[in-house]
Amino acid sequence: MYVPGKLDNVDVVLIDVGTGYYVEKTVEEARDFFKRKVEFLTKQIEKVQPALQEKYTMKQAVIEMLNQKIQQMATLNASQSGTAKA
């Protein structure tokens, strides 16, 4: 939840560094910290993106194969139903 507020001391800020831990830093140190964090996350996204694209392509191929199998089974069932009636 975000609420409007007013800072009394703007020399230091608390930074959430994860898992419930906070670190007190100067504003300049905080900027550097977040700049490094953004750079790290950007690199991680660039690493993961090709793998994600490959997984998506594989998923599409599996879906297409399943649709073909379903179509084949439907055609086979229809032909067997027609043979059974005759």
- How far apart are alpha carbons 58 and 71 in whole angstroms? 20
DSSP lists the bridge partners of residue 78 as: none
Of residues 1 and 51, the one with the higher pLDDT is 51
Residue 26 DSSP class: E
Please answer whether residues 14 and 22 qualify as being in contact, where contact means their C-beta atoms are separated by less than 8 angstroms. Answer: yes
At 30, give phi and psi (nearest 5°).
-65, -40
pLDDT digit string, tens, across residues 29-74: 999 999 999 999 999 999 999 999 999 999 999 999 999 999 999 9
